[in-house]
Amino acid sequence: MLSTSPLIDKLARARQILHEMGSVIVAFSGGIDSSLVLKLAHDELGEQAVGVTAVSPTLPAAELDATQTIAAEIGARHRIVETDQLDIPEFVRNDATRCYHCKTDLYSLLETLRTEYAAGYIVDGTNMDDLGDDRPGLKAARERGVRSPLLEAGFSKADIRDVARELGLSNWDKPAAACLSSRIPRGITITRSTLSRVERAEDALAQEGFRHYRVRDHGEIARIELGAEELPGLLQPGRRERLAETLKKLGYRFVTVDLEGYRQGGVSLTPPA
């Protein structure tokens, strides 16, 4: 059972917000935030709630699989559509506005679907914790009238995980995810081949059993970030050697481990000379 009255009140408020919307398109990435929105929307609106996942070269295949699994668990309607941010020069340029152009592309696509489904609103998983980050994507959402039920109800990230666990969402403790382009330093052109290389490098970490990780792509250098609690796991017999061999086969000349561990925004740092 939910342990605090404020959290119970927030959940009731989120449900009320979605109920009053009548029908929604949920921008559904498969992360815990949008999963909770889809769960609550489905509970309140049934067939009038549709989760939409946009597939592009920036979305890891494992994340797409996760959206299908969670949508099936919830029992919600789920649609997969294709887009390609690599067709957007401003995105490929990879400057500080990259996320703005990515989200503009996404919400333009969802607006078309909103018309198709005659849905009242597009909703996303933005929450209180997101307001402290530099997120140009939020600007794109607000420009297009996208609403954020969890934010409107006052949910923090911790609140979301507590409620998701209580409601039985299997991904309640899923680590935060971000599109593959976030592994490439600003100012470095985003290419299909680089995105693919990063995805395969991170797949290697997943196969070794790591959960909190990023592979930051600095050209011939792969900079691995791991959650601080997982750094000792690299010392297990053979693991470090296997990872180095795998990543070098992908074209990296040097495979490094960042001793500061995983942190958001780590790609913007300059690797040592």
Catalytic residues: 179
**Rounded alpha-carbon distances, angstroms, from residue 212 to 1, 43, 101, 233:** 28, 31, 27, 12
Q: How far is CA 88 from the centre of its chain?
A: 20
Query: Per 3-state DSSP, what percentage of the chain is helix, strand, and coil (rounded to 5)?
Result: 55, 15, 35
Name every residue whose Cβ is closer than 8 Å to that of residue 33 and which is 6 or more positions away in sequence.
124, 125, 126, 127, 150, 157, 160
Residue 77, SS3? strand
Closest C-alpha to 25, from 99, 84, 103, 78: 78
Tell me how far apart the alpha carbons of residues 102 and 130 are, in angstroms, rounded to a whole number: 17
